[in-house]
């Protein structure tokens, strides 16, 4: 069974990462603190996903990647 709340968390983490990355490129800033925190959140989310099975790990990758793409596109 697919959990929409779980998917929203993965998408949100990806969206934050994508929007922060695109925003830093536009402004020319290098905010390593926020990028490190978001990277840690992505890693924790993928480890949590993988704890429920390999198929959920891959689903977590898809959710985070979709959020990253949307975050980057929204900031262009």
Question: In tens digits, what is the pLDDT along the chain, a chain of 76 residues?
Answer: 567 888 899 999 999 888 887 666 666 666 677 778 888 999 999 999 999 899 999 999 999 999 989 988 888 7
- 65: part of which helix (H) or strand (E)? helix 54-74
Provide the pLDDT for residue 26: 61
Give Cβ neighbours of residue 9 (< 8 Å, ≥ 6 apart): 45
Q: Tell me how long the chain is.
A: 76
The whole domain housing 28 covers 4-74
Number of domains in the chain: 1
């Amino acid at each position: 069974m697919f959990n929409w709340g779980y998917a929203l968390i993965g998408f949100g983490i990806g969206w934050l990462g994508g929007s922060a990355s695109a925003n830093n490129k536009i402004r020319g800033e290098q905010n390593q603190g926020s990028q490190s925190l978001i990277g840690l959140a992505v890693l924790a989310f993928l480890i949590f996903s993988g704890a429920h099975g390999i198929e959920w790990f891959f689903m977590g990758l898809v959710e985070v990647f979709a959020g990253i793409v949307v975050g980057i596109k929204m900031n262009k």
